Amino acid sequence: MNNVFYGKLIFELSREGRRGYSLPKNELASYSMTDMPNALLREQDPGLPEVDELTVVRHYTNMSNNNFGVDTGYYPLGSCTMKYNPKINEEIAVHRAFTGLHPLQDIDTVQGALEVYYKLQQSLATLAGMKEFTLNPYAGAHGELTGLMVMRSYHASRGDDKRTKVIVPDSAHGTNPASAAVCGLDVVVVKSRPDGTVDVDDLRPLLDDTIAGMMMTNPNTLGIFEHSIAEIAKLVHDCGGLMYYDGANLNPMLGKVRPGDIGFDIMHINLHKTFSTPHGGGGPGSGPVGVREGLEQFLPSPRVIRIDGDDDCYEYNIDFGKDSLGSISGFLGNFGVMMRAYTYILTLGRDQVKNVGPLATLNANYIKESLKDVYELPIEGVCKHEFVFDGLKDKSTGVTTLDVAKRLLDYGYHAPTIYFPLLFHEALMIEPTENESKETLDGFIDVMRKIAQEAKDDPEMVKSAPHTTPVRRLDDTKAALHPIVTYRELAAEQ
Ligand SMILES: Cc1ncc(COP(=O)(O)O)c(C=O)c1O
* pLDDT at residue number 242: 98
The stretch 22-40 carries a mean pLDDT of 74
Q: Is residue 493 scored above 60 in pLDDT?
A: no
Q: For 122-147, what is the mean pLDDT?
A: 97
Same domain, 1 and 102: no
CA of 174 to the centre of ligand 1 (A): 8
Q: How much is the pLDDT for 35?
A: 74
Q: How confident is the model at residue 131 (pLDDT cuts 50, 70, 90)?
A: very high
145, 225: one domain: yes
Question: Which structural domain, as residue segments, surrounds residue 452?
Answer: 356-480
Boundary (domain end) residue, out of 347, 367, 399: 347
* Same-domain pairing of 185 and 217: yes
Per DSSP, 245 falls in state E
Whether residue 332 has pLDDT greater than 70: yes
Tell whether 386 and 416 lie within a shared domain: yes
Tens digits of residue pLDDT in 143-202: 999 999 999 999 999 999 999 999 999 999 999 999 999 999 999 999 999 999 999 999
Q: What is the pLDDT of residues 301-313, one digit of tens each?
A: 999 999 987 667 8
Those residues whose C-beta lies under 8 Å from the C-beta of residue 365, and which sit 6 or more positions away, are: 382, 383, 387
CA distance 418 to 331: 37
The CATH number of the domain holding residue 190 is 3.40.640.10
How high is the pLDDT of residue 33?
61
Q: Does the residue 493 lie in any domain?
A: no
Residue 85, pLDDT score: 85
Q: Which among 270, 418, 429 is the best mutation to test ligand 1's pocket, defined by most ligand atoms within 8 Å of the CB?
A: 270
Residue 490 has pLDDT above 70, yes or no: no
Give me the CATH number covering residue 468: 3.90.1150.10
List alpha helices for 239-387, DSSP H.
271-274, 335-371
Whether residue 92 is predicted with pLDDT greater than 80 in this model: the reply is yes
List beta partners, residue 304.
Answer: 318
Ligand 1: distance of its center to the CA of 173 in Å?
Answer: 7
pLDDT digits (tens, 9 = 90+) for 378-405: 999 999 999 999 999 999 999 999 999 9
Residues in the chain: 494
Residues 270 and 411 in one domain: no
> Which of the listed residues 75, 135, 173 should we mutate to test ligand 1's pocket, taking the one with most ligand atoms within 8 A of CB?
173
| Residue 191 shares a structural domain with residue 246 | yes
Q: Does 405 lie in the same domain as 451?
A: yes
Percent of the chain with pLDDT over 90: 73
Residue 282 has a pLDDT of: 63
Residues 177 and 290 in one domain: yes
Q: For residue 201, how far is its CA from the centre of ligand 1 (angstroms)?
A: 27
Q: What is the mean pLDDT of the chain?
A: 91
Q: How far is the CA of 476 from the centre of ligand 1 (A)?
A: 22
Identify whether residues 2 and 105 lie together within a single domain: no
In a domain, 19, yes or no: yes
Q: Cβ of 349: how many Cβ atoms within 10 Å?
A: 9
Whose alpha carbon is nearest atom 9 of ligand 1? 140
* Whole-number pLDDT of residue 494: 46
| Ligand 1 neighbours (beta carbon < 6 A) | 80, 139-141, 173, 175, 217, 221, 246, 248-249, 270, 285, 287
Residues 293 and 398 placed together within one structural domain of the fold? no
Cα–Cα dist 225/238, whole Å: 23
Residues 268-282 have a mean pLDDT of 81
Q: Let me know whether 166 and 54 are in one domain.
A: no
Residue 169 counted as domain residue: yes
CA of 270 to the centre of ligand 1 (A): 7
DSSP 207-234: -STTEEEEEE-SS-TTS---TTHHHHHH
Residue 425, Cβ neighbours under 10 Å: how many? 11
* Domain contains 70: no
80 pLDDT band, cuts 50/70/90, is low
Helix (H) or strand (E) holding 182: helix 175-182
> Is 124 in a helix, a strand, or coil?
helix
Residue 83 belongs to some domain of the structure: no
Let me know if residue 7 belongs to a domain.
Answer: yes
Per-residue pLDDT at 58 exceeds 80: yes
* Residue 429, pLDDT above cutoff 50: yes
Q: Is 467 helix (H, G, I), strand (E, B) or coil?
A: coil
397 and 323 fall within a common domain: no
Please count the other Cβ atoms lying within 10 Å of the Cβ belonging to residue 103. 10
Q: Of 347, 365, 396, at which residue does a domain stop? A: 347
Query: What is the whole-number distance in angstroms between the Cα of residue 49 and the centre of ligand 1?
Result: 40
Instruction: Tell me what the mean pLDDT of segment 116-143 comes to.
Output: 96
In a domain, 287, yes or no: yes
Quick: pLDDT tens for 349-381.
999 999 999 999 999 999 999 999 999 999 999
Domain end (from 347, 382, 408): 347
Closest CA to 256 of 349, 361, 352, 357: 357
Rounded Cα distance between 316 and 314, Å, is 7
What's the gap in Å between 318 CA and the centre of ligand 1? 29
- How many domains is the chain built from? 3
What number of CA atoms fall less than 13 Å from residue 406's CA on the CB side?
23
Q: By alpha-carbon position, which residue is closest to atom 7 of ligand 1?
A: 140
Q: Which region among 22-36, 113-127, 332-346 has the lowest average model confidence (pLDDT)?
A: 22-36
The pLDDT value recorded for residue 488 is 63
Mean pLDDT of 256-272: 95
Which of 80, 168, 175, 224 for mutating ligand 1's site (highest number of atoms within 8 Å of CB)? 175
Q: Is residue 313 a part of any domain in this protein? A: yes
pLDDT computed for residue 413 by the predictor:
94
